[in-house]
Amino acid sequence: MLDKAGSVWFTELHGNSIGRLEISKAQAGRSAGFQEFPIPAKDSHPHGIAVDKDGGIWFTEMGGFFQGKFRDRIGRVVP
């Protein structure tokens, strides 16, 4: 999923994390611009991801049967 800033957001189903790739900082062969944000719920298996009109990042959990929101300003995932 692409946000307004041009970053690519994705879920890591078996990694239990949300990931972001900031294209403007990306460099071939390096991890620059890449970040992972762990989900606090064990075995949540994040699956779907979406960006709302205010730029909020929402995701669903297959293992936890919940939806959560990523709080970008504080770098925390809130199920």
21-77, pLDDT tens digit by residue? 888 887 666 667 888 888 888 888 998 999 988 888 888 888 876 777 776 554 555
47 in Cβ contact with 62 (< 8 Å): yes
Residue 76 confidence (pLDDT): 55
Range of the domain at 55: 7-78
73 domain residue, yes or no = yes
Residue 32 confidence (pLDDT): 74
27 domain residue, yes or no = yes
Residue 12 confidence (pLDDT): 93
Going by their DSSP bridges, the two strands 34-38 and 46-51 should be labelled as: unpaired
53 domain residue, yes or no = yes
Q: Say whether pTM exceeds 0.85.
A: no
Residue 74 confidence (pLDDT): 46
58 domain residue, yes or no = yes
Intra-chain end-to-end CA distance of the chain, in Å: 19
Half-sphere exposure of residue 21: CA atoms within 13 angstroms, side-chain side: 12
Total number of domains in the chain: 1
What whole-number distance in Å separates Cα of residue 75 and Cα of residue 71? 6
14 domain residue, yes or no = yes
